[in-house]
A and B are shown apart, each in its own frame.
Chain A
Amino acid sequence: MTIHNLYIFDKFGCLLYYAEWNRLKSSGITREEEAKLMYGMLFSLKSFVSKISPLDTKKGFVCYKTNKYALHYLETPTGLKFVLNTDVNAQNVRDLLHQIYSKVYVEYVVKNPVVNLGDPIKSELFKMKLDGVIKQFPAASKAS
């Protein structure tokens, strides 16, 4: 079980934070371009899902899987987007994403008065706490 990397986007599609733990392949483009590509894909996936869905969606797009990895997606009502890539068999990643949002993002970014919301996150404390939550997660225990 592996956790590969995490992206956090704000509601305007700006990359707030990127972290990686076990990434074996880089996409061959700069981080900025990659973030734009990722956001574009998520945006299209969201509209694709809402159109192709036979019923009314609530959460909408949740995750997709390829043969090598799974991408899990959590969007808050305020438009923050958390994207976590894991291996295909990881369980309960949605809970982990929710934890990252409520226990790390809200606690160490929103409640930090010197952080400007909408700017990329540079806080060391945030980074440390995020690492802690990821390493605690049972799926990551064997890796990293």
Chain B
Amino acid sequence: MVIYGVYIVSKSGGLIFNHDHNVPKIENEHTFSYPLDLKLVYENKKVVVSFGQKDGIMVGHVLTAANGMPVTGKQLDDGRDVLEVIDNSESYPLTLRFSRPRMTTNEKIFLASMFYPLFAIASQLSPEPKSSGIEVLEADTFKLHCFQTLTGVKFMVVAEPSQTGVDLLLKKIYELYSDFALKNPFYSLEMPVRCELFESNLQSLLEQIEKTGISNV
């Protein structure tokens, strides 16, 4: 029973709240000999594995450190270009650390606004009349549950595929939102939610669910 994250999207499609619950950190470190048996490319200011999966290193993972030295973009902390280091046979054996990229806040905002048209198109392409938008989005690694309130605010929970009773959780989060965010006199609508009470209550709700299950909430 794992809940990975909670997102709240305003009526106009902007991300107004996000809480990462327990996203697993996927990281692998290995010592390589020359030539490197992975294909790396530099894209979107990251060095990414584009071909060759081994020992838990998957396509899409980002290079985070070489010989224990952090990599930012394609630069090592001492100013050298990491791709040149990798191409140079003299720098081997080389220890490289790869990890699955974590979403930055900007990417989260971008994704949240991307969900909005998907939600709308799903209802337009419906073969049945009067369909709602996406309520559950399923992938092999997670399930995204979305609950839209009458006022158009969307609550989304990303959870394990086997997690049940998320609808209840969503209603509960809505309740917390209306109690602690909307009743806060310093909160203006459509703006990001920064209410300590809301966050702490949400946190304890998620922890309680993880311990005892949703039915006891």
Q: Which A residues are within 8 Å of any B CB, using their own CB?
A: 4-5, 20, 22-25, 27-28, 34, 37-38, 40-41, 44-45, 48-69, 71, 85
Bound form: Cα–Cα A58–B58 in Å = 10
The reply to whether A4 and B118 form a contact with Cβ atoms under 8 Å apart is no
* Contact (Cβ within 8 A) B134 A65: yes
A67-B132, A67-B135 are known contacts. Are A60 and B23 too (CB-CB below 8 A)?
no
Determine the residue in chain B with the shortest Cβ distance to A85.
B127
Among candidates B117, B129, B132, residue contacting A25 with C-beta atoms closer than 8 Å: B129
CB distance from A77 to the nearest CB of B (A): 13
On whether A4 and B158 interact (CB within 8 A), knowing A55-B24, A65-B136, A66-B135, the answer reads no
Interface contact B142-A64, CB-CB below 8 Å = no
Could you tell me if A66 and B103 are in contact, using CB atoms closer than 8 angstroms?
no
The contact of A38 among B115, B125, B129, by CB within 8 Å, is B125
Interface size counted on chain B using CB atoms at 8 A: 39
Q: A54-B142, A55-B142, A62-B138 are in contact. Are A68 and B125 (CB under 8 A)?
A: no
Knowing A24-B128, A44-B114, A68-B128, say if A59 contacts B139 (CB, 8 Å).
yes
- From B131, B133, B135, B141, give the contact of A53 (CB < 8 A): B141
A4 touching B100 in the complex, CB below 8 Å, given contacts A45-B137, A48-B118? no
A41–B132 Cα distance when bound, in Å, is 16
Decide: B158 and A52 in contact? CB cutoff 8 A. yes
Chain A contact residues: helix, strand, loop or mixed: mixed
Residues of A within 8 A of B132 (CB): 66-68
Please name the residue on chain B nearest to A55 by beta carbon.
Answer: B141
- Asked if B85 is at the interface of the complex by the 8 Å CB criterion, the answer is no
Query: Contacts of A60 on B, CB cut-off 8 Å?
Result: 139-140
CB <8 Å contact, A64 and B103 = no
Tell me whether A37 and B125 are in contact (CB under 8 A): yes
Confirm or deny: B192 has a beta carbon within 8 angstroms of a beta carbon on chain A: no
Q: Are A69 and B127 in contact (CB under 8 A)?
A: yes
Give 22 A-B contacts (CB < 8 Å), ordered by A residue. A5-B127, A23-B127, A25-B126, A27-B124, A34-B125, A41-B118, A48-B111, A53-B139, A54-B4, A54-B23, A55-B100, A56-B100, A57-B140, A58-B141, A60-B139, A61-B138, A64-B138, A65-B138, A66-B133, A67-B131, A68-B126, A68-B131
